[in-house]
Structures are given as structure tokens and as C-alpha cells.
């Protein structure tokens, strides 16, 4: 019997890219963004809360500056390895299952950290926690980038990363609220429990990337379901042929190698992206890890130091939001403005005779610029790579960036241990935004002609076959 006789629509060819590019923001995408925002909020809380807990560890475990620096660096080193490993797993097994595994892992390890009997055990647990934390964000970026039109990609990633920053904002007040009365362990117990409660919700609602499934040639029924949610009335069926017109599907059949990130136009792009990310990560992790302690050492109370850090994180979120539409339109050159402003502010803080009130104001401004730069780096980390290697590309970028994240807290610990005046650390820190600014300016020039980093112009989009064919 014929397909018409059975009242079954004949298979058609549907370009997944075209459906995604012409969509309006809809319920499906909003739900995806909200889920991603929730997991990055908890990721940010877990990653940054160690800085606010550090003064209590100094009191309870007798931890000195060097051992605290090692604790900060250990978590970041774990995150570096996690970004590489989970990025590889995400490109091999899919974004959805690896995101869920990452969330479950950092929730469980976070809870176990509450039972650490000494600094040695805490170091090991923080490393494992860091591995789990490092794998989440590149996969979340990849999943969202692959579901939103190119004109909104940086915007959506920035919104998601607000969750990470606000998680760090909440970490300070929550620590000040819980730790003095219930011990620093209560902070980790609360964070771990909240994270684990999110896992069943992700299992029920988090979709897999339709672009990824298409490039890999997997699960056509899931592709059809996702596209129908993006475009009601499309009526895609599992038997239809799905293509990603703007990417070479042949790349999906090749095993990923690190050299893939340096092939052709990607060579200068990857190199400059990594350098800009290293500079940004050095600045933001030095600020995050040592900020509370440095502000205490220059004369602020512990509560005031925590509030300065929290307010500066809010300022970073505002700076990131102000930047996102410009990044969608102009690319990396828009991000370069922030580190160019941060460097002179840091030099002024370190060299000028500024009062505590003035130091608080300049700290808020400089840290907002530093955080805004990091927002921008996150928003472009996965844009330059095709779907088949996007999680690997973003994962390697964030992991290589951890070189700066590891070096900065270790350097701060050793410099404080030899009694360097805390304000002079701001002078050294000014080098890091300069590295980011120069790299971003060069990246904007070499990345302008990269097809992978630019959305397809509407006139070049291959429309799906159903646009000209009505299903009976």
C-alpha cells in the first residue's frame, strides 16, 4: 500500500539549521534557558562558596595563606580536567546525559565536603568537586547555542551565566548567615542537597540538542519532537531526513583530536581565544578567591568584605547584560572595552593613596569590569566551533583558561605569605585584563571571516522541503 493510502506523510528533507534560525523565542527555548540558569546558579554557588568559607577554615583548621591558595587552586585544577573530560564525553554521548551526570556529581561531592576531617581530606574532595563543576558550563553553553538563532546566541549564554554569577552573589550572604551558627559544613550540606534535588527535574525536562543528534545521525524521533516544539505546525516525523546545512556532517564521523581545534581558520581563533580566556580567568579567580581575605586585611570587616564581593558580582552581571547585544552584533571587539577599563582602575587602587571608602568604590568598578569580561568570554567560547566539536571546543577553552585560574590563587597565597602589602597585588593583577584586551582585539580581526562564528545570512538559509510541500 502507498503512503498516501495509509494517510502517512511521505518523508521530506528538513534543514534543522533553517528551523532554528527562523524561530521566534518560544516556550521550548525559555524552558531550556531556565533549566540551564538553575544549574549554572548552583554551579556558581558551589564553585565560589569556598572563598567565603575560607576565613572559617582559617579559624577552624588553622589553615594559612599557602594552604588556602592550594585549596582554591585544587578545585580549579579539577575543573580544568573536568572541562576537557566532560567536553569529550558531551561530544561523544550527547549534551543531556553528561549535563545530568555533572550536576549529580557536584551535588554529591559538595555534600561529602561537609564531612572532611582535615585540610588534606578537603583538598581531595575539592578536587573531585571541581572535576564535576568544570564539566557543566561548556555543555550548557553548547546545548543552548545549538537551539537559539545566531542573532541571540551571545545574549542567551550571558543570561545563563547570570545564574553562575548570582550563585556566587548568594554564596556570601548564605555563608555569613549559616556558618557562624551552624558551622561552615552547613553551607556545603545546603548546596549539595539543593543540587541533588534538581537532578530529577533535569531528567524529566532537559532536551538533547537537535543539531547534535542530526550531525551524529541519531534519534530522529527526538529531533522531530524538538523541531515541532520550536515550530508548531512543522509536523516533522521520525522518518523525515534531517540535515544541518551549515556544517559538514562528515566531521561527525571523525574522532576528535586536539589538533582539530587548530585546523585551518581555527588555528589563530583557538590560540587567541585561549589567551584572552587565560587573562580573564586569572583576574576573576584572583578576585573571587582572595577578595574576601584581602579586603579583611586592608581594614574591612568580614561582613563588609563579603558584601563588597557580592555587590561587585551583581555589578558584573549588569555589565554582562549591557554587553550581550553588542557581542551578538559586533563579536569579540565589544568585549575588549571592559578589560581596557579595568587595568587602569586596578593600577590606581594599588598605587594611589585611596581611603577605605574610595577603595570600596574602585573595587566595585574594577571587579564589575573583570566579571563583565568573563561574561563576554563565556558568551563566545562555543560560537567559533561546529556542532560536532562544539562541546570539545568550549570545554578546552574553559579548561585552558583554568591555567590562569590555578596560577592566580597560588601566586596570591605565596605573595601574602611573604607579607607583600595587599594593595600591591592589585598592581600585579592589572596585567591580566591587558592580556585579555589585546587578545580580544586580535581575535575580532581574525574571527571576522570565520564561517563557524557567524550565523548564516537569511538569504542563504536552505529552507526545509515542507515549505514548498504540504503534507496530506
pLDDT band at 319 (very low <50, low <70, confident <90, very high): confident
List Cα–Cα distances, 260 to 270, 296, 377, in angstroms: 10, 46, 21
Looking at residue 13, the DSSP 8-state letter turns out to be E
Tracing cell 591555567 back to the chain, one arrives at 403
Instruction: Identify the H or E element spanning 277.
Output: helix 266-297
What pLDDT, in 10s, does the model give residues 241-299? 898 876 644 444 456 678 888 888 888 989 999 999 999 888 887 877 777 777 777 77
Instruction: Identify the H or E element spanning 241.
Output: strand 241-243
Q: Which residues of 211-247 are buried (b: 16+ CB within 10 A; e: fewer)?
A: bbbbbbeebbebbbbbbbbbbeebebbeebebbbbbb
C-alpha to C-alpha distance for 444 and 249, rounded to whole angstroms: 27
What pLDDT, in 10s, does the model give residues 272-281? 999 999 998 8
Q: How many CB atoms lie within 10 A of CB 30?
A: 10
Contact indicator for 329, 376 with CB cutoff of 8 Å:
no
List Cα–Cα distances, 13 to 215, 224, 330, 464, in angstroms: 14, 12, 33, 6
C-alpha to C-alpha distance for 169 and 166, rounded to whole angstroms: 5
Domain membership of residue 122 (yes or no) is yes
Domain membership of residue 459 (yes or no) is no
Mean pLDDT score of the chain, rounded to an integer? Answer: 81
Residue 108 has a pLDDT of 95
- Residue 280's domain comprises 13-454
Domain membership of residue 27 (yes or no) is yes
Domain membership of residue 110 (yes or no) is yes
pTM score, two decimals? Answer: 0.70
- Of 423, 308, 291, 294, nearest to 357 by C-alpha is 308
pLDDT band at 48 (very low <50, low <70, confident <90, very high): confident
Tracing cell 592589572 back to the chain, one arrives at 430
What pLDDT, in 10s, does the model give residues 9-27? 677 888 898 898 888 878 9
CATH of the domain at 267: 1.20.1250.20
C-alpha to C-alpha distance for 227 and 233, rounded to whole angstroms: 10
Q: Please indicate whether residue 3 or residue 388 has the higher confidence score (pLDDT).
A: 388
Contact indicator for 80, 402 with CB cutoff of 8 Å:
yes
Q: What total of structural domains would you count in the chain? A: 1
Q: Please indicate whether residue 57 or residue 105 has the higher confidence score (pLDDT).
A: 105
Contact indicator for 464, 22 with CB cutoff of 8 Å:
no
Domain membership of residue 3 (yes or no) is no
Q: What is the dihedral of CA 321, 382, 160, 410, to 10 degrees?
A: -90
Q: Flag whether pLDDT at 455 surpasses 60.
A: no
Share of the chain above pLDDT 70, in %: 90
Phi (first) and psi of residue 453, to 5 degrees: -95, -5
Domain membership of residue 462 (yes or no) is no
Angle at CA 128, nearest 5°, toward 126 and 131? 110
What pLDDT, in 10s, does the model give residues 158-188? 788 888 878 877 888 898 889 888 888 999 9
Domain membership of residue 301 (yes or no) is yes
Domain membership of residue 472 (yes or no) is no
Amino acid at each position: 500500500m502507498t503512503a498516501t493510502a495509509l494517510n502517512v506523510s511521505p518523508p521530506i528533507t528538513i534543514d534543522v539549521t533553517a528551523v532554528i534560525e527562523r524561530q521566534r523565542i518560544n516556550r521550548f527555548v525559555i524552558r531550556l534557558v531556565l533549566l540551564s540558569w538553575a544549574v549554572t546558579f548552583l554551579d556558581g554557588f558551589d564553585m565560589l562558596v569556598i572563598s567565603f568559607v575560607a576565613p572559617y577554615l582559617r579559624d577552624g583548621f588553622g589553615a594559612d595563606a599557602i594552604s588556602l591558595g592550594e585549596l582554591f587552586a585544587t578545585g580549579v585544577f579539577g575543573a580544568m580536567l573536568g572541562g576537557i573530560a566532560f567536553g569529550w564525553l558531551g561530544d561523544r554521548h550527547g549534551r543531556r546525559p553528561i549535563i545530568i551526570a555533572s550536576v549529580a556529581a557536584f551535588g554529591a561531592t559538595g555534600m561529602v565536603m561537609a564531612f572532611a576531617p582535615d585540610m588534606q581530606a578537603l583538598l581531595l574532595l575539592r578536587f573531585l568537586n571541581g572535576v564535576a563543576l568544570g564539566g557543566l558550563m561548556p555543555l550548557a553553553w553548547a546545548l543552548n547555542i545549538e537551539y537559539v538563532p545566531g542573532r541571540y546566541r551571545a545574549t542567551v549564554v550571558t543570561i545563563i551565566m547570570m545564574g553562575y554569577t548570582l550563585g556566587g552573589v548568594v554564596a556570601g550572604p548564605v555563608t555569613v548567615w549559616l556558618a557562624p551558627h551552624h558551622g561552615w559544613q552547613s553551607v556545603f550540606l545546603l548546596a549539595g542537597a539543593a543540587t541533588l534535588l534538581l537532578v530529577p527535574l533535569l531528567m524529566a525536562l532537559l532536551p538533547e540538542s537537535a543539531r547534535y543528534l542530526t550531525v551524529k545521525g541519531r534519534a530522529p524521533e527526538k529531533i522531530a519532537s524538538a523541531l515541532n516544539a520550536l515550530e508548531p505546525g512543522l509536523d516533522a516525523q521520525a522518518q523525515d531526513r534531517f540535515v544541518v546545512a551549515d556544517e559538514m556532517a562528515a566531521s561527525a564521523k571523525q574522532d576528535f583530536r586536539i589538533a582539530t581545534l587548530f585546523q585551518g581558520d581555527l588555528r589563530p581563533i583557538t590560540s587567541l581565544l585561549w589567551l584572552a580566556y587565560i587573562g580573564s580567568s586569572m583576574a576573576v579567580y584572583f578576585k573571587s578567591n582572595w577578595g574576601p581575605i584581602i579586603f579583611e586585611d586592608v581594614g574591612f570587616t568580614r561582613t563588609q568584605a563579603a558584601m563588597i564581593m557580592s555587590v561587585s558580582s551583581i555589578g558584573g552581571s549588569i555589565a554582562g547584560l549591557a554587553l550581550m547585544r553588542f557581542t551578538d552584533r559586533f563579536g569579540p571587539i565589544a568585549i575588549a572595552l571592559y578589560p581596557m577599563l579595568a587595568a587602569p582602575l586596578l593600577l590606581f587602587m594599588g598605587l594611589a593613596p585611596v581611603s577605605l571608602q574610595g577603595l570600596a568604590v574602585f573595587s566595585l568598578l574594577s571587579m564589575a569590569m573583570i566579571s563583565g569580561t568573563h561574561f563576554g568570554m563565556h558568551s563566545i567560547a562555543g560560537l567559533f566551533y561546529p556542532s560536532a566539536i562544539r562541546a570539545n571546543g568550549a570545554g578546552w577553552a574553559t579548561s585552558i583558561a583554568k591555567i590562569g585560574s590555578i596560577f592566580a590563587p597560588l601566586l596570591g597565597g605565596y605573595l601574602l605569605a611573604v607579607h607583600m602589602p595587599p594593595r600591591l597585588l592589585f598592581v600585579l593583577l592589572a596585567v591580566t585584563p591587558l592580556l585579555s584586551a589585546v587578545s580580544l582585539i586580535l581575535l575580532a580581526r581574525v574571527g571576522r571571516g570565520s564561517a563557524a562564528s557567524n550565523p548564516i545570512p537569511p538569504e542563504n538559509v536552505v529552507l526545509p522541503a515542507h515549505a514548498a510541500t504540504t503534507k496530506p
